């Protein structure tokens, strides 16, 4: 579906029944140099569990118009405007990686407008190495390949961890990133520059799910504790043998965890 936010076209992938009072709705926020396709393997499973699912392309990503917004705060305001436009106030919002920071900041700013918050592959702060920031500016395709490599477990490159992808699984991640490569430098800078995460977490009153890959090399488990401590109602769930790109590596486990939390 299409809508407009601040006068610019926004593309939103949808699945499941139309939203209705008393029925769970879930809005999914993708990460850096991604778009709605990051959730491609998860959305049908959420819909099969009766959830109304919305996965927007952030500005300048995928099929949404405009240029990438240059701060997590600006993206959070955009997300709150989208929730209002879709009449989804009170829905569960789930964000992955950069999208987790956007969802976190939006929940802090929006209060009860976000009923529940799910943070996937999240850490606060979320520093990015200088080498990767420079590569994203100078050689974005090489940077995309670096991120795709570090986002998956080594075993996933060999066998797909039983998810049915075979060796093509990491290629799916890379293909989505390559079509959004022009957004990578801005997105990574947003992650690196965001300094309000712990304050935002302390301001979130509602339940929060931390969904983490045990073998995540981008936002490793050791970096998550400050965020968990700052949240008032945090539930932590770790996925075995799973890296940062959990929606590709373990889509069934991700869908089950999100559906249980949102319901």
Q: pLDDT tens digits for 190-211?
A: 999 999 999 999 999 999 999 9
Q: Which two tokens stand for residue 208?
A: 């929060």
For residue 251, the Cα-to-chain-centroid distance in whole angstroms is 13
8 Å CB contact between 94 and 29:
yes
Say what the pTM is.
0.96
Helix (H) or strand (E) holding 46: helix 43-48
Q: Is 122 or 22 the better-scoring residue by pLDDT?
A: 122
Per-residue pLDDT at 167 exceeds 60: no
The pLDDT, as a whole number, for residue 159 is 67
8 Å CB contact between 57 and 31:
no
Q: Cα-flanking dihedrals φ and ψ of residue 49, to 5°? A: -95, 10
pLDDT digits (tens, 9 = 90+) for 58-85: 999 999 999 999 999 999 999 999 999 9
Q: What angle do CA 242, 126, 255 make, to 5 degrees?
A: 35
pLDDT digits (tens, 9 = 90+) for 218-243: 999 999 999 999 999 999 999 999 99
The candidate with the shortest Cα–Cα distance to 70, out of 218, 196, 193, 181, is: 193
Confidence grade of residue 160 (pLDDT, cut at 50, 70, 90)? low
The pLDDT, as a whole number, for residue 166 is 54
The pLDDT, as a whole number, for residue 28 is 98
At the fourth CATH level, which superfamily is domain 2-262?
Answer: Alpha/Beta hydrolase fold, catalytic domain (3.40.50.1820)
Strand ordering across the sheet containing 2-5: 2-5, 8-15, 52-56, 25-29, 91-96, 114-120, 208-213, 234-239
The string of DSSP codes covering 61-73 is: STT--S---SSHH
Q: Work out the average pLDDT over 49-56.
A: 97
Instruction: Please tell me the distance from the alpha carbon of residue 117 to that of residue 106, in angstroms, as a whole number.
Output: 10
| Distances from the Cα of 152 to the Cα of 5, 29, 229, angstroms | 33, 19, 27
pLDDT digits (tens, 9 = 90+) for 8-33: 999 999 999 998 887 889 999 999 99
Q: How many helices (H) and strands (E) does the chain have?
A: 12, 8
The pLDDT, as a whole number, for residue 165 is 52
Helix (H) or strand (E) holding 9: strand 8-15
8 Å CB contact between 163 and 169:
yes
The pLDDT, as a whole number, for residue 87 is 94
């Amino acid at each position: 579906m299409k809508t407009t936010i601040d006068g610019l076209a926004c593309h939103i992938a949808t699945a499941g029944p139309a939203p209705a009072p008393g029925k769970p709705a879930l809005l999914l926020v993708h990460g850096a140099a991604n778009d709605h396709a990051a959730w491609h393997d998860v959305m049908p499973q959420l819909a099969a569990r009766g959830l109304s699912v919305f996965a927007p392309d952030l500005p300048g990503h995928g099929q949404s118009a405009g240029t990438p917004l240059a701060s997590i705060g600006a993206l959070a305001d955009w997300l709150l405007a989208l929730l209002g436009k879709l009449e989804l106030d009170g829905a569960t919002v789930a964000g992955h990686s950069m999208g987790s920071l956007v969802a976190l900041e939006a929940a802090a700013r929006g209060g009860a407008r976000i009923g529940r918050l799910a943070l996937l592959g999240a850490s606060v702060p979320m520093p990015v190495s200088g080498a990767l920031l420079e590569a994203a500016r100078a050689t974005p395709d090489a940077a995309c390949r670096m991120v795709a490599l570090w986002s998956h477990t080594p075993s996933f490159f060999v066998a797909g961890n039983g998810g049915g992808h075979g060796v093509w699984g990491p290629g799916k991640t890379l293909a989505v990133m390559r079509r959004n490569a022009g957004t990578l430098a801005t997105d990574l800078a947003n992650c690196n520059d965001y300094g309000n995460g712990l304050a935002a977490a302390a301001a979130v009153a509602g339940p929060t799910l931390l969904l983490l890959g045990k073998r995540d090399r981008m936002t490793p488990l050791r970096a998550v504790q400050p965020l968990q401590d700052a949240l008032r109602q945090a539930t932590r769930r770790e996925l075995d043998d799973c890296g940062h790109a959990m929606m590709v590596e373990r889509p069934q486990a991700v869908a089950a965890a999100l559906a249980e939390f949102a319901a």
